[in-house]
Structures are given as C-alpha cells and as structure tokens.
Amino acid sequence: MKQYDYLLVGSGLFAGVFAYFAGKQGKKCLVLEKRDHLGGNIYCEETEGIHVHKYGAHIFHTSSREVWDFVNSLAEFNRYTNSPVANYKGEMYNMPFNMNTFSRMWGISTPEEAKKIIQEQRKVIKGEPKNLEEQAISLVGTHIYQKLVKGYTEKQWGRECKDLPAFIIKRLPVRYTYDNNYFNDLYQGIPMGGYNVIIDKLFAGCEVRLGTDYLENKKEYDALAEKVVYTGTIDSYFGYRFGRLQYRSLRFETEVLDTDNFQGNAVINYTDRETPYTRIIEHKHFEFGTQEKTVITKEYPAEWTEGMEPYYPVNDEKNQELYKRYEALAAEEKNVIFGGRLAEYRYYDMDKVIESAFACVKKEFHGINIAADHR
Ligand code: FAD
C-alpha cells in the first residue's frame, strides 16, 4: 500500500474540490504545487489590507444552486455585482451595452429609440459578415462598434478587426433595460475575506508541498500515491510529444496609490486603441473597501511564449486537433485523473470548474451525495 491515496498536482479549484471530498471520504492526499502558494488562479495577495486578485479579476457567478450552496458553505459572499464601465477617450459608458449606454451615447431615453438607431446602423452590412468588424457592426451598429468594441478587441488580439475572423464574436449582448449587471446568472458575489478563505478550507486536511514541480520528479512522486489527479497542462504531461498547445496570456502591472479611491469602480475597460492596456482593476471595490490607500492593476493582453502564464486556450482548429491527440493519450493513462482548465485545455469559469470537479468526485466516490456531504 502506498503512502497516500491521492497525489494532487496543482492546487486550483479543481484539485481543491477534489481534495475536500476525498478528505470527507477519509482519503489521504498529498498536494504538489509549483507556485509558492495554494489556490491556482483565484489566489489573492494581501496588500494594504486589500485582497489583490493576483492572476486577474475574479468575480464569482453561477446559476447552479448546488455550486452556490457549496461555496457559501465555505465562505460568506458579499453583494458585489459586476458592473464594468468603459472609458472611451474620457467618455464613460456603462456595460454591458444597455439603456444607460445608449442614453449616454445618443441622448435618448426609450428602448424604442435605441432599437431604431441600432437597426439603422446595422443595415450598413449587407450579406454575410466577412470579418470581425462587419460581424460586430451587424450586431450592434457603427457607433457602439467604433467606441466600445473596435479598440478593445484590437488590443486583445493584437490585430485589426478587419483582419480577424467573424466567428470570434458570435454575439454581443445588447440589453434594452437600464440594467448594468454584467452577468445574467442567478447568484453573484465575492467571498468576504477573499478567495483564500475558500482555498484554505478546501485543502485543510491535505499535506502540501509548495514550490514543487511534479514533472521534474514524476516517477518518484507517482510512487507515493495510489492515484494522481493532474491539473497542469496536458501537453507538458506527455513531454510535448505532438507539439505545444498555444495560449493567450496577460501581463499585469500592479501599483499601490496614495489615494482612497482611484476610479470609483472595480473594473474600468479602456476601449480606445491608443491606451495600451485593456482594463484597470481597482481591487478594493470588490469588497467595498474603506482602506486609506488603493491598489490598481493594469491589464495588458500578451502573446503567450514559453515561461509566461498560460491564461486562455486558443480555440482554433489546429489547437483543438492537437488537444484531441493528447486527450486520447490521457484516456489510456492508468490511475490518473486529468481535470481543470489546463489538463482539459478549455476555458472554465469558476462555477463550471467546480461542477466538473463535482462530476469527477461523484464518479470516483460512487454514491457520494455532494449536497449532504458538505453541510
Ligand atoms: P488553476 O487555477 O490554473 O490551477 C492549476 C494549478 O496547477 C496552478 O496553481 C499551477 O501552478 C499548478 N500546476 C501546473 N502544473 C504543475 C506541475 N507540473 N506541478 C505542480 N503544480 C502545477 N472565472 C470566473 O468564474 N469569474 C471570473 O471573473 C474569472 N476571471 C478570470 C480571469 C482570468 C484572467 C483568468 C485566466 C481566468 C478567470 N476565471 C474566472 C477562470 C478561473 O480562473 C478558473 O475557472 C479556475 O481558476 C480554474 O481552476 P483550475 O484548478 O482548473 O486551474
């Protein structure tokens, strides 16, 4: 018999949810994490008494009652509602595009007036949109495209909208109500005390080794546990045998400012082409902070190269085909569970990664009742 029942590679939400339920089943887990902290991308660093979302702003939202009950059993959530604002050359517009946005843009007040203007502007595009620019105009008209979509998208992709394929934007939500809530989900909020409160509870019963890369001593670590739950990148697990999967990355510039309120909102998007960053996050506003100072993070989109954090998988055919080849290898791997955003090469919101970990736990521990078990 081996020393541990499970070796968890990585300490993000997927591994955390697994660890939590494995612990409830009396299983012994060892966690290996190559960073110097637990939590994966939801980790918060405390600066000036403010919980700084180190790997990008994280807002919890879900329509799943099961997931919401679960996270609320781990932390109390505040009433934060994501209502980003767009700054286009000093003009401030509410997001997502709604009656507040239209009223500011055209000085109108009713949904009927807004619909009429957008319908008129959409007519500029005749036939099937040939590129992202035409696609966006066919969805929201020329004014919203020019001021709120074009520059932001070009910064995100590092290319002109005219040179980007139409399929990247399938829909641009337009709301004919005065509702600035970015998400349509039933539940939303930020854990009071930051995400680390949740992370600490998820891994409470585990032995943890930080600053430890599983792949550097794979054989040795495999010998320690009956089964591996692997949440790192799938191509690295197989030694990049078929080549590397591609990602989009981000660069963050964080600074402490000697003011108690820099921008009046947690998230402000810069939608012009000239400002080099896409967003500024002011972290204290996620938790209605009253600290004397503030911490802001400027977000710069970046091409991913070796050594950078892999944030977003590139969802094109080439990468999906490559992933499928790795996925087939993974299916053959004995006593290894592949889970989470890196091992499954897909973008998961937090609630979705929890749902997928629930499914994994239910399969692994037959008959386990998630709802009853976490109360
Ligand atoms: P991760 O959190 O990435 O955890 C994987 C861990 O494995 C990492 O800590 C990594 O260091 C470790 N690891 C990898 N390889 C090895 C190895 N070889 N050895 C040891 N350790 C290893 N979701 C929302 O719902 N709302 C949001 O607002 C939101 N904002 C986001 C913003 C950004 C910029 C990004 C990138 C994502 C955002 N998400 C958001 C998604 C959210 O971050 C994910 O759903 C969640 O973090 C995924 O958890 P995970 O366990 O799959 O992966």
Q: What is the ipTM of this complex?
A: 0.99
Alpha helices in 260-369 (DSSP H): 317-332, 340-343, 350-364
Q: What's the rounded Cα separation, in Å, for the pair 150 and 154?
A: 6
Alpha helices in 194-246 (DSSP H): 196-202, 218-222, 234-237
Say what the pLDDT of residue 374 is: 63
Closest C-alpha to ligand 1, atom 46: 350
CA of residue 250 to ligand 1 center, whole Å: 13
Pocket of ligand 1 (CB under 6 A): 9-15, 32-35, 40-42, 56-60, 213-215, 231-232, 250, 311, 340-342, 348-351, 353
Cα angle: 309, vertex 312, 315; to 5 degrees = 140
User: How many residues would you count in the chain?
Assistant: 375
Say what the pLDDT of residue 369 is: 86
CA of residue 116 to ligand 1 center, whole Å: 42
Closest C-alpha to ligand 1, atom 22: 10
Antiparallel, parallel or unpaired: β 247-257 and 294-303? antiparallel
> Which of the residues in the chain have pLDDT under 50?
none
Say what the pLDDT of residue 240 is: 97
Q: What's the rounded Cα separation, in Å, for the pair 44 and 312?
A: 19
Note the pLDDT tens digit of each residue in 262-286. 999 999 999 999 999 999 999 999 9
Say what the pLDDT of residue 99 is: 98
Beta strands in 186-310 (DSSP E): 187-189, 207-209, 225-230, 247-257, 267-270, 279-282, 294-303
What are the structural domains, with CATH classification, of the chain? 4-81+188-246+314-374 (3.40.50.720), 93-168 (no CATH)
